[in-house]
Amino acid sequence: MNARKEHPFQGWGLKNTDRPLVIAGPCSAETEGQVMETARALKEQNIEIFRAGIWKPRTRPNSFEGIGSKGLIWLKRVQSELGMKVSTEVANVKHVYEALKFGVDIIWIGARTSANPFAMQEIADALKGVDIPVFVKNPVNPDVDLWIGAIERIIGAGVSKIGAIHRGFSSFERHSYRNIPQWQIPIELSRRMPDIPIICDPSHIGGRREVLQEISQKAMDLNYDGLIIETHPRPDEAWSDARQQLTPKSLNQLLNSLSLRKVNAQDPNFLLVLDELRTKIDQFDEAILEILEKRMEVAEQIGVYKKENNISILQPSRWQEIINKTLQKGKNRSLSNELIGQVFKAIHQESINKQTRIMNEKV
């Protein structure tokens, strides 16, 4: 993540603009009692921004799809009785109008909606002339341009307070988290849009409460500007996302456990050592590029050879042999299966692409 602004939320009309910004509250507003009980407990811990889903885009039908507009009256109570800012998700134009009518302070656009350019444009059009903060979650699929495009549509509507929320990416492959974080994607977003603050949603990345601390710490290590964390007074009884919600008390413990890194270290000695280490990294990156170039040249030679001998490109047994060998060797060098698997899959795919091109070239 780039060196980030020290107070990215200055001018957003929030009480506390220190990092990390914390947004907390239940996945869904369920009852007036649950909303008020959660908000009171959070307020006691100086959390100033409350979240609650009013409309819930669920993967399968016949699950709880949100309490609907009547929940907005409960959010109004949270605002007026506790002085907290309230936030909710909007997924269509009707939601935008309802949320604005009830004076919601902050809105966010969910991962299923940010993946849909038409829906994003309609929401952006409905936001013309509105100046509340708007957060855009990453789309469900790992496409940084789609995420940037969604943010650009909101910028195009003239909204000036825009943030991004990283909530991970869905995948068919099983993973220890519910949604794979793919940290390189938010890092790339930040590189391309350095003025957009970015917060992490460890709840939807992790999918279970045991891993929320490690994900939140990782986000802090990467200089994220804040966290949005699902909180419920009795998580196991929650009507949605029960496994990933924390009690307000556990949220407090989690926040207290985080080590916060300085955004910009000024100490010249620190900078000197960092610079040396970065020079080393740059040299290794150079060496990796050189090796990749050489490997691809050999892959091309193999492609030509296969063509001359009329042999098919994909030889599954050879690929299996490479992956087994590299995983084992990687392990001996303390390189994770995840890293080696991904790197070699990508290299292998590129070799196949090159060889396919060669096969199809007309001579």
Answer yes or no whether residue 201 interacts with Mn ion by CB under 5 A.
no
**Residue 182 CB, nearest distance to Mn ion (Å)?**
19
Interaction pattern, residues 72-101, with ligand PEP; x per rule: CB under 6 A:
-----------------x------------
**Residue 308 CB, nearest distance to Mn ion (Å)?**
56
Binding partner of residue 137 among ligand PEP, Mn ion, none, CB cut-off 5 to 8 Å per kind: ligand PEP
Answer yes or no whether residue 54 interacts with ligand PEP by CB under 6 A.
no
Q: What single string gives the DSSP state of each residue in 41-82?
A: HHHHTT--EEE-BSS---SSTTS-----THHHHHHHHHHHHH
Binding partner of residue 110 among Mn ion, ligand PEP, none, CB cut-off 5 to 8 Å per kind: ligand PEP
Interaction pattern, residues 235-274, with Mn ion; x per rule: CB under 5 A:
------x---------------------------------
CB-wise, 175 or 354, nearer to ligand PEP? 175
Closest CA to 49 of 5, 15, 89, 91: 15
**For residue 290, which amino acid is it?**
E
- 197 with 9: CB under 8 angstroms? yes
> Residue 231 carries which DSSP code?
B
Closest CA to 203 of 237, 239, 241: 241
CB-wise, 23 or 254, nearer to ligand PEP? 23
Answer yes or no whether residue 110 interacts with ligand PEP by CB under 6 A.
yes
Of residues 4, 19, 95, 137, which one binds ligand PEP by CB under 6 A?
137
**Residue 245 CB, nearest distance to Mn ion (Å)?**
8
Answer yes or no whether residue 111 interacts with ligand PEP by CB under 6 A.
yes
CB-wise, 144 or 229, nearer to Mn ion? 229
* Location of structure tokens 């809105």: 107
Phi, psi of 10 (to 5 degrees): -60, 135
CB-wise, 242 or 263, nearer to ligand PEP? 242
d(CA 148, CA 138): 9
Interaction pattern, residues 10-49, with ligand PEP; x per rule: CB under 6 A:
-----------------x----------------------
d(CA 123, CA 91): 8
* Location of structure tokens 């038409």: 118
d(CA 114, CA 152): 11
**By three-state DSSP, how is residue 258 classified?**
coil
> Residue 9 carries which DSSP code?
T
**Residue 19 CB, nearest distance to Mn ion (Å)?**
24
d(CA 167, CA 165): 6
Closest CA to 4 of 278, 227, 221: 221
Cα 142–Cα 7–Cα 193 angle in degrees, nearest 5: 30
Of residues 1, 21, 23, 27, which one binds Mn ion by CB under 5 A?
27
Binding site for Mn ion (CB under 5 A): 27, 241
Binding site for ligand PEP (CB under 6 A): 27, 53, 89, 110-111, 137, 167, 201, 204
